[in-house]
Amino acid sequence: MKIKDNFWLGLLAGAASFGLFYLLLSLVNWEKLGAFSVRAPFLLAFIPGIILFRMMLVKWDLDKMGRGVLAVTIVGMLLVFFLV
């Protein structure tokens, strides 16, 4: 099945990957580890988006979806740095 190359689907995929990975990271007790700051789970949750971005652009040739994932990643990182 061929995936339609759409910017909005890229935004959705980027937000979904961030949300699911953040939920997974929220199960870890970050205060007990001590060495990590408050921002650590947020920033680590962006890793799947970066990997997804690379795979969409290089492997799957989905340029518009890759741009959508990149937009979610950049805006999310800026929000974490300025608001958290």
26-71: pLDDT as tens digits: 887 777 776 666 777 888 888 898 898 899 888 888 889 999 999 9
Q: Which domain holds residue 73?
A: 7-83
Residue 16 is assigned to a structural domain of this protein: yes
Residue 1 is assigned to a structural domain of this protein: no
29, containing H or E segment:
none
Q: How far apart are CA 29 and CA 73, in angstroms?
A: 24
pLDDT for res 16: 93
8, containing H or E segment:
helix 7-25
Residue 26 is assigned to a structural domain of this protein: yes
Residue 2 is assigned to a structural domain of this protein: no
**Structure tokens given for 16:** 């979904």
